[in-house]
Amino acid sequence: MEIFSYMEQYDYEQLLFCQDKQSGLKAIIAIHDTTLGPALGGTRMWTYDSEAAAIEDALRLARGMTYKNAAAGLNLGGGKTVIIGDPKKDKNEEMFRAFGRYIQGLNGRYITAEDVGTTVEDMDIIHEETDYVTGISPAFGSSGNPSPVTAYGVYKGMKAACKEAFGTDSLEGKVVAVQGVGNVAYNLCKHLHAEGVKLVVTDINEEAVRRAVDEFGAKAVDPKDIYEVSCHVYAPCALGATINDETIPKIKAKVIAGAANNQLKEAYHGDKIHEMGIIYAPDYVINAGGVINVADELYGYNSERALKKVEGIYSSIERVIEIAKRDNIPTYVAADRLAEERIERMRKSRSQFLQNSHHILSRRFK
Ligand SMILES: NC(=O)c1ccc[n+]([C@@H]2O[C@H](COP(=O)([O-])OP(=O)(O)OC[C@H]3O[C@@H](n4cnc5c(N)ncnc54)[C@H](O)[C@@H]3O)[C@@H](O)[C@H]2O)c1
Ligand SMILES: CC(C)C[C@H](N)C(=O)O
């Protein structure tokens, strides 16, 4: 990948490489756009096949956060970190302390939180070095693990998408195929099971599958068979790019609604599923519950206020579907428009000069 041309193509602001030999930290912080405010996005720890793959993931995820935060009505820009390593083997305290110091060095341009492979405990260690971290322990008056709240938002968004596809938002008796039953999807399955959904699940982690089978009576299938499951809803809740040339012909669901980031491998895959009449709940709209929840910490965390906002994901999905139908466009395009229009409106309305401490007059008028 030609990094500068890629950054130019999608208008990225900054890409940082953070290395700490002692702890083994190899982190990449990508800041996409800070028009709306500081970039907020989680830290993913993953064993990437190559450094290029890690850079690409950081960049794609950071841009996703710009759109997610904008569409959710947050006054936050988009950024993301990836740490190269195995979260089960390679973590240590010094690593997250070193990483926290790099975040502190950005002086508020980037705020982090959890993502795949990182936990509340990791955020607490980062917090030893910087205040620019969210999703830390409730003991600090913070919001803790965002996953259950993300799951609640996905559940609400799935109901809105089903209303469009099946004429009712009741999920009772529906079959939902859940790919990846980790932190978010386990909690999603709880809501679905409580509403009488028949669950079909898969995961590469056998223990995660067993838990869903035992607790929710889910049927387990092999990871490669999840696309072909005869179901009403396909819920991608593992990693990204699972909607692609290979999987689309296998999908039997009428609705795609799940937690994973960057579900469409390429934009044209969104066009393909639209042509097939599938109702796609755009990933960054339906999975915004976690970021809405951690962002509330910046105002002094109030869980009731945050959950109320997360419930709004139902109407956000309704709105995206409405725009898509009105303008005869796929839902992913409708969501992008919503986000881009908000960023542009704010860019214009915030463009006038404002007296603060970082401008040409700051030394003269102290
Ligand atoms: N945690 C949050 O609050 C949050 C918020 C927004 C978006 N997301 C996104 O949702 C997704 C899940 O997040 P999470 O926090 O639950 O992560 P997680 O790591 O707890 O869960 C992911 C699960 O997917 C499984 N998995 C990985 N590859 C798989 C494959 N090929 N087939 C089947 N299963 C596979 C893993 O074993 C794991 O159990 C991620 O894409 C994440 O970026 C998470
Ligand atoms: C909790 C959030 C800041 C990050 C979350 N992993 C997301 O992708 O939205």
Whether the predicted pLDDT of 360 surpasses 80: no
208 inside domain: yes
Closest atom of ligand 2 to CA, residue 261: 8
Q: Over the stretch 208-227, which tens digit does the pLDDT of each residue have?
A: 999 999 999 999 999 999 99
**pLDDT value at position 255?**
98
Residue at a domain's end among 135, 163, 181: 135
360 inside domain: no
Distance 260 CA to ligand 1 centre (A): 6
Q: Is the CB of 57 inside a 6 Å radius of any atom of ligand 2?
A: no
Q: Say if residue 174 is in the same domain as residue 257.
A: yes
- C-alpha pair distances (Å), 295 with each of 40, 42, 77, 116, 276: 8, 11, 11, 18, 36
Q: Say if residue 107 is in the same domain as residue 152.
A: no
Cα-Cα-Cα-Cα dihedral sign, residues 224, 227, 231, 233 = positive
Q: Over the stretch 312-325, which tens digit does the pLDDT of each residue have?
A: 999 999 999 999 99
Q: Over the stretch 290-304, which tens digit does the pLDDT of each residue have?
A: 999 999 999 999 999
Give the residue, 354 or 30, on which the prediction is more confident.
30
> Ligand 2 pocket: which of 45, 65, 123, 298 to mutate (most atoms <8 Å of CB)?
65
User: What's the token pair of residue 39?
Assistant: 């970039």
- Where in the sequence is the domain holding 34, given as residue range(s)? 3-64+77-135
Q: Say if residue 158 is in the same domain as residue 290.
A: yes
- Looking at the CA of 111, name the nearest ligand: 2
Q: Which residues contact 312 (CB under 8 A, 6 or more apart)?
A: none
Whether the predicted pLDDT of 275 surpasses 90: yes
What domain count does the chain have? 2
Give the residue, 242 or 239, on which the prediction is more confident.
242
Q: How far apart are CA 5 and CA 122, in angstroms?
A: 34
Q: Say if residue 170 is in the same domain as residue 103.
A: no
**pLDDT value at position 364?**
65
Q: Over the stretch 52-106, which tens digit does the pLDDT of each residue have?
A: 999 999 999 999 999 999 999 999 999 999 999 999 999 999 999 999 999 999 9
Provide the CB-side half-sphere exposure for 293 (13 A, CA).
29
**pLDDT value at position 140?**
87
Q: Over the stretch 13-48, which tens digit does the pLDDT of each residue have?
A: 999 999 999 999 999 999 999 999 999 999 999 999
Q: Say if residue 191 is in the same domain as residue 84.
A: no
241 inside domain: yes
Q: Which residues contact 140 (CB under 8 A, 6 or more apart)?
A: 124, 127
User: Residues 61, 14: contact at Cβ < 8 Å?
Assistant: no
| Per-chain mean pLDDT for the chain | 96
Q: Is the CB of 143 inside a 6 Å radius of any atom of ligand 1?
A: no
**pLDDT value at position 141?**
86
**pLDDT value at position 352?**
80
Closest atom of ligand 2 to CA, residue 284: 9
354 inside domain: no
Whether the predicted pLDDT of 356 surpasses 80: no
Pairing of strands 77-84, 25-33: antiparallel
Q: Which residue among the candidates 21, 26, 68, 80 is catalytic per the annotation?
A: 80
**pLDDT value at position 361?**
67
Q: Say if residue 165 is in the same domain as residue 268.
A: yes
Q: Is the CB of 180 inside a 6 Å radius of any atom of ligand 1?
A: yes
CATH code for the domain of 50: 3.40.50.10860
125 inside domain: yes
Q: Say if residue 98 is in the same domain as residue 163.
A: no
User: What's the token pair of residue 246?
Assistant: 């290979």
Q: How far apart are CA 270 and CA 332, in angstroms?
A: 6
User: What's the token pair of residue 208?
Assistant: 């995660």
CATH code for the domain of 249: 3.40.50.720
The SS3 of residue 117 is coil
- Looking at the CA of 117, name the nearest ligand: 1
**pLDDT value at position 9?**
96
ipTM exceeds 0.90, yes or no = yes
Q: Say if residue 129 is in the same domain as residue 153.
A: no
- As a whole number, mean pLDDT of residues 243-272 equals 97
Closest atom of ligand 2 to CA, residue 112: 3
3-state secondary structure 265-304: CCHHHHHHHHHCCCEECCHHHHCCHHHHHHHHHHHCCCHH
Whether the predicted pLDDT of 366 surpasses 60: no
Q: Say if residue 177 is in the same domain as residue 91.
A: no
Q: Say if residue 307 is in the same domain as residue 200.
A: yes
142 inside domain: no
Q: Say if residue 162 is in the same domain as residue 103.
A: no
The SS3 of residue 229 is coil
Distance 123 CA to ligand 2 centre (A): 13
- C-alpha pair distances (Å), 76 with each of 146, 255, 340, 353: 17, 30, 13, 20
The count of other CB atoms within 10 Å of the CB of residue 152 is 22
Pairing of strands 43-46, 77-84: parallel
| Amino acid at position 314, single letter | Y
348 inside domain: no
**80 catalytic residue (yes or no):** yes
Q: Over the stretch 175-187, which tens digit does the pLDDT of each residue have?
A: 999 999 999 999 9
Whether the predicted pLDDT of 359 surpasses 70: no
97 inside domain: yes
Q: Over the stretch 142-168, which tens digit does the pLDDT of each residue have?
A: 999 999 999 999 999 999 999 999 999
Of all protein residues, whose CA lies closest to atom 28 belonging to ligand 1? 238
Whether the predicted pLDDT of 365 surpasses 80: no
Closest among 98, 73, 72, 75 to 85, alpha carbons compared: 98
**pLDDT value at position 362?**
65
User: Residues 283, 262: contact at Cβ < 8 Å?
Assistant: yes
The count of other CB atoms within 10 Å of the CB of residue 90 is 17
Q: Say if residue 100 is in the same domain as residue 243.
A: no
